[in-house]
C-alpha cells in the first residue's frame, strides 16, 4: 500500500510539474507533453512529433508503436523519456524512473475522461 501511495504521489507531482512547464514553455524539448497547441486536438504534441524529439529515443520502437496504433504505450514511453531527461535540470522532482515506478505507471491516460485530459482541458 505504501509503495502504491508513493508512486501515485510521484506521478501526480510529475504531471503537475509537466503541465506547468508546458503551459509556460519551460520544457527543454519545446514540445507539449500532456496537451496540444492545436485547438481541438486531444493528442499531445509529443505524440505527433515523437520521431523528431531531442531525446534519447529508440526511433525503431517509436515507429513500431505508431504502426501498431499503440498510443498508450507510445505515450508512456515518451513521457518516461521526458521525465528521465528532466532529471538533468530538476533531480528533486524528476528522479530517474525505477522499475517499480514504471510498472505502476497509470493506465488510460489518453482516455477522454482521464486525469491528464481534465488537467489539460482549458475550456
Which pLDDT score is estimated for 8?
82
Alpha carbon of residue 51 to chain centroid: 15
Which pLDDT score is estimated for 11?
86
Which pLDDT score is estimated for 19?
95
Q: Using CA atoms, how far apart are residues 103 and 74, in angstroms rounded to an integer?
A: 15
Q: Using CA atoms, how far apart are residues 119 and 45, in angstroms rounded to an integer?
A: 15
Which pLDDT score is estimated for 103?
61
Tell me the pTM: 0.86
Q: What is the pLDDT of residues 62-82, one digit of tens each?
A: 999 999 999 999 999 999 999
Which pLDDT score is estimated for 123?
64
Q: Which residues of the chain have pLDDT under 50?
A: none
Which pLDDT score is estimated for 20?
96
Q: Using CA atoms, how far apart are residues 109 and 88, in angstroms rounded to an integer?
A: 25
One-character DSSP codes across the chain: -HHHHHHHHHHHHHHHHHHHHHHTT--TT-S-SSS-SSTT--S-HHHHTGGG-SS---HHHHHHHHHTT-HHHHHHHHHHHHHHHHTTT-TTTSPPPPHHHHHTPPS-TTSTTSHHHHHH---
Amino acid at each position: 500500500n505504501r509503495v502504491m501511495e508513493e508512486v501515485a504521489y510521484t506521478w501526480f507531482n510529475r504531471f503537475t510539474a509537466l503541465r506547468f512547464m508546458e503551459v509556460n514553455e519551460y520544457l527543454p524539448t519545446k514540445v507539449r507533453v500532456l496537451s496540444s497547441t492545436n485547438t481541438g486536438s486531444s493528442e499531445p504534441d509529443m505524440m505527433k512529433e515523437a520521431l523528431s524529439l531531442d531525446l534519447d529515443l529508440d526511433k525503431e520502437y517509436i515507429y513500431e508503436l505508431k504502426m501498431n496504433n499503440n498510443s498508450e504505450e507510445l505515450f508512456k514511453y515518451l513521457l518516461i523519456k521526458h521525465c528521465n531527461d528532466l532529471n538533468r535540470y530538476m533531480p528533486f522532482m524528476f528522479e530517474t524512473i525505477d522499475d517499480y515506478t514504471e510498472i505502476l505507471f497509470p493506465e488510460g491516460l489518453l482516455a477522454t475522461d482521464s486525469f491528464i485530459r481534465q488537467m489539460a482541458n482549458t475550456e
